[in-house]
Amino acid sequence: MKFRTLNSLALAVLAMLMGLAVASACATTPKKSTPASKASAAGNTAQDDTMRLEGEKRFRANCARCHAAPPKFPPRVMGTIVRHMRVRAMITDEEMRLILHYMTE
């Protein structure tokens, strides 16, 4: 099958990754949270909120021109997708980290 444009190839790769993500999401089991993990999470809430907001800004500036925010995927799968798109969108490592934090929260 020939792809006429680079965009078609990128969409095909993204569709394949999303298909793998859905299969992976179906195979994972939810984690149970403990009181200790809730307490440590509460301590980092302000920092997490800041990172999430920055990640959302970066997503809107770099990714939203071509993509709507996908449904939530496991962090490992989303990491693969974001790293792949980092090269195509030419974003920095810091922007990638913020976007990944936003997409996995």
Domain-located, residue 11: no
**Residue span of the structural domain in which 102 resides:** 50-105
Write down the pTM of the prediction.
Answer: 0.57
- Closest listed residue to residue 66, CA positions, set 2, 11, 6: 11
Domain-located, residue 60: yes
Amino acid found at 93: D
Higher pLDDT, 24 or 13: 13
**What is the total count of domains within the chain?**
1
87 pLDDT higher than 50: yes
Instruction: Provide the pLDDT confidence category of residue 97 given band limits of 50, 70 and 90.
Output: very high
| CA angle in degrees (0–180, nearest 5) for 66-72-78 | 70
Higher pLDDT, 92 or 17: 92
pLDDT at 28 (0 to 100): 45
